[in-house]
Structure 1
Amino acid sequence: MRPIPRIVVAGTHSGCGKTTLASGLMAALAARGLAVQPFKVGPDFIDPGHHSAICGRMSRNLDPFMMGEAGVRETFVRASAGADVAVVEGVMGLYDGLDGTDTASTAHVAKILDAPVLLVVDAKGASRSVHAVVRGYAGFDPAARVAGVVFNRIGSPRHRGLIEATQSLPVYGWVPRRDDLVVASRHLGLAMAAETGILAGFGAVVEETCDLDRIIGLARAVPPLPELPEVSERPEAGIRVGVAHDAAFCFYYQDNLEGLARAGADLVSFSPAQDRLPDVDALYLGGGYPELHAAALAASRCRDDIRRAVDDGMPVYAECGGLIYLTERLVTGDGDHPMAGVLPAVAEMTGRIQGLGYVEARVVGGAPVLEPGSAFRGHEFHYSRLECAPDARFALELLRGRGIDGGRDGITVQNAIGQYTHAYFQAGFAETLVRAAGAYRRS
């Protein structure tokens, strides 16, 4: 098996320019005609959207906590098929992992993939001192191969000269400060890729200020990874699963969608804000920004279609933004908006984070789209909260995470469930949902 050329772009800390440099590198490589497969360490949805727009290939998350080490390798190898080079954007600082450990850190993923690390260092306000930072990062865990550095926010030729006077690791780039290439943010992170193409514009900066030929050589000097096991043929189940996909519902792990397809589902995309409910056997409502599109969601007849479908027994699985959409009402700063009216709860947007971090969930209540007694992992990040009816039924007990009600998540009604947890689907998770859809189709 030929080695997959690969490189991990890591940072010393959040805000050092890692996302900008990784995206710019992807854009510069793509501009040279290379097929670039992008990845993002951790559970984030927004950065992968930018990657996908830049590279023309779907970016994937690599998260050892949610996927396991074998899952990280499998997703990486499978997604990299046909690519000339893979670029992995890290998360936070290189060594920042779960609960202060190495687990799920950028370094952890780099070691799993046996990939060289290109360290982004913000040089603003320092000169020779940056080498102490670089040497500290390179020596902290020798198993994480910090192969070189890109210095960001160089202020002038003199600033660069002061840094060049001392040697540390090989330098692959000297990137000047560019205040004009900044992506706007909102409460869940950066603006979505469809709203701005500014990160792709950084490709020309990377081409001009980084040694792209040497970076490509570094990415190619890697060993092969283990080959994947054979995957059985997809069953021809003829099951149609509707997937809400528009500006309000845009947070999905690509592996989850492909897992449903491998389990036999035909995925049917639709917009709850603009379309009627299509002819499907189950629904998957992902996360996103329903609060920014509450008026359109309230005006659409799709919410009535979904309520009738749930009353008829259709399986519905909803996460975060999808959970909000299934409630009775959504209260935002500009009004009180009726939602689908499936779940006995009212959602309210707040001015502060209500839940953030990894989740471990166990299925303890009845929910046909989830296997009784099963467990799964995921992530939550939300500024909303729910006021639930006293008789609301919860299907999930959280061993880690906040969920809807301080350790409970997954309100269930009929064959529908709505939860704050963004789950990473294992094979059994997707198969259970498809089986439930098949049972509804036959009923």
Structure 2
Amino acid sequence: MQGFLLSATRRSSGKTMIAMGLCRALRNRGVNLAPFKKGPDYIDPMWIGTAAGKPCVNLDFNSMTEQEIAGKFACHCRGQDMALVEGTMGLFDGVSISGTDSNAALAKQLGLSVILVVDCKGMTRGIAPLLIGYQAFDPELNLIGVILNNVSGQRHESKLRSAIRNYTDLPVIGVMAHQAEMTIDERHIGLLTSVEDPHVTRSVEKIASIAESALDIDLLINLLKQHRIDLMHQDYGEQLPCVKGLRLGIARDQAFSFYYCDDIEAIERAGIDIHYFSPLEDGGLPEVDALLIGGGFPELHAERLECNSSMLASIAGFCGSGRPVYAECGGLMYLARSIGWQGRRHRMAGYLPVDVRMNERPIGRGYVALAPTDRHLWHQGPEFAISQSFPVVKAHEFHHSSIEGIDEDIDYAWEIVRGHGVDGRHDGFVRQGVLAGFSHLRNTQGYPWVEHFTRYIAQNHA
């Protein structure tokens, strides 16, 4: 099997668009491609998965061990011809100064070749020392080629190619000019999600067509054939079914779409019957035993959410019944009394006695560390020595929203060790059967939240 990591010298270099184009171009050639995304991001994997025609799996050093990353990578690569991992930020960037959580570290761990995307705006001969530096910085890294992006014309391309040819041994896999078709509208959190683009298939095909004409796909395939990757033989430790016959309603539409594909798979493996519903379109909830309301952009659809009064009443009634509900970020905002944004305030479900205000700058951004409190709903009972089993849970947050009017007597599921949460000290409002916070959890060996949540659902259903 072949595989490569697509990285860049820095963020905002056009890497995600190129990854999408490569995924669809390779798929159109009949290549069975396994797509991956480094880090905790939700939006890039939506687009990459759409382009590849299959779910894009996140690989994140923060929440996963190296063995877990290798196992998950191997599990999703089996039966495939090729793996593409889109990096995050720059090739050598990361939280650790030693680079142990960088794109380069991930590529070396998984035995992946690396293709570097360089934004060439305002650059000619200077690309040579840049590439030489990247090669010399980590000689163990298998950097096999470069893609030149934002090239202004043939003269610019000629100067870049000449410098690369004369000073390095790196092949140029492709040259991308700046084109409006290779951009996607941006939100305050990143790219527009694929579920928000009404012409998503057309957008992906247009990007793939440009990539096909600008990139040497045959050269890429031939370069990758020279470097085979070996997958670990042991099976990834998948969760065994623990409950059956229970129904979980999951909010999924343009307002709520932030879910990890393998977390959803874990819920299904647990024996849960999933029923998707739309807070924007549906008049009420399906017949379910519990709810999962993930993140997204409810503020962009606040007026439509407010107008769907029957769904708001259905949500509030369900929460008030004491049945299990887990809400993350946008889901928390939806359960609040209101969302204030751009000079207007929109009524929401009103179950949580707090209000939300949108801000221009992020309030919480990056990796978080959480310590569970004794009020955490999922950790009740003698089988949970939670202070010993999970002293710190690793997650991430990214929200421009802040919470107003918090009652002093409200309970919290988490104390903040690192991050912001709802007030800088806590996260995860707890009320009856509802747990709602800003932190995004990932179902990992370090914290298998799906197992805990599904067990809690089963206990409440008994």
TM-score, normalising length: structure 2: 0.90
Listed as ranges, the matches of 1:149-298 within 5 Å are: 149-165=146-162, 166-168=166-168, 169-194=170-195, 195=197, 197=200, 198-220=203-225, 221-229=227-235, 231=238, 234-235=241-242, 237-275=244-282, 276-298=284-306
Distance in structure 2 (CA, Å) of the matches to 1:126 and 1:303: 54
Secondary structure, counterpart of 1:351 in structure 2: coil
Aligned-residue identity in percent = 36
Listed as ranges, the matches of 1:291-306 within 5 Å are: 291-300=299-308, 301-306=310-315
Question: Residues 434 and 226 of structure 1: is their aligned pair in 2 closer, same or farther, counting only changes over 3 Å?
Answer: same
1:381 to 388, 398, 408: 398
- Aligned twin of 2:459: 439
After superposition, give the CA deviation of every residue in 1:67-126 in whole Å (9 maximum; x if it has no partner). Answer: 221222222222223322221111111111015442432112212211000001122222
Deviation at 1:31, TM superposition (A): 1.5
Structure 2: unaligned runs, 5 residues or longer: none
Q: Give the length in aligned residue pairs.
A: 439
1:314 to 2:323 alignment:
yes
- Aligned twin of 1:330: 339
Distance in structure 2 (CA, Å) of the matches to 1:249 and 1:141: 41
Structure 1: unaligned runs, 5 residues or longer: none
Question: Residues 356 and 236 of structure 1: is their aligned pair in 2 closer, same or farther, counting only changes over 3 Å?
Answer: closer
Distance in structure 2 (CA, Å) of the matches to 1:248 and 1:434: 24
1:419 to 2:437 alignment:
yes
Secondary structure, counterpart of 1:65 in structure 2: coil
Distance in structure 2 (CA, Å) of the matches to 1:277 and 1:167: 63
Question: Is 2:368–2:419's contact at 8 Å kept on the other side of the alignment?
Answer: yes
Question: Residues 19 and 336 of structure 1: is their aligned pair in 2 closer, same or farther, counting only changes over 3 Å?
Answer: same
Distance in structure 2 (CA, Å) of the matches to 1:256 and 1:112: 23
After superposition, give the CA deviation of every residue in 1:326-346 in whole Å (9 maximum; x if it has no partner). Answer: 112212225222222222211
Question: Residues 226 and 146 of structure 1: is their aligned pair in 2 closer, same or farther, counting only changes over 3 Å?
Answer: same
Secondary structure, counterpart of 1:117 in structure 2: strand
Question: Residues 185 and 283 of structure 1: is their aligned pair in 2 closer, same or farther, counting only changes over 3 Å?
Answer: same
Distance in structure 1 (CA, Å) of the matches to 2:68 and 2:425: 27
Question: Residues 303 and 179 of structure 1: is their aligned pair in 2 closer, same or farther, counting only changes over 3 Å?
Answer: closer
Of residues 277-286 and 170-179 in structure 1, the stretch that sits farther from structure 2 once superposed is 170-179
Of residues 420-429 and 116-125 in structure 1, the stretch that sits farther from structure 2 once superposed is 420-429
Distance in structure 2 (CA, Å) of the matches to 1:201 and 1:285: 32
Of residues 382-391 and 293-302 in structure 1, the stretch that sits farther from structure 2 once superposed is 293-302
Distance in structure 2 (CA, Å) of the matches to 1:407 and 1:140: 40
After superposition, give the CA deviation of every residue in 1:371-390 in whole Å (9 maximum; x if it has no partner). Answer: 64334211111111001122
TM-score, normalising length: structure 1: 0.94
Deviation at 1:409, TM superposition (A): 0.6
After superposition, give the CA deviation of every residue in 1:406-433 in whole Å (9 maximum; x if it has no partner). Answer: 1311111012111100111225321111
Question: Residues 214 and 347 of structure 1: is their aligned pair in 2 closer, same or farther, counting only changes over 3 Å?
Answer: same
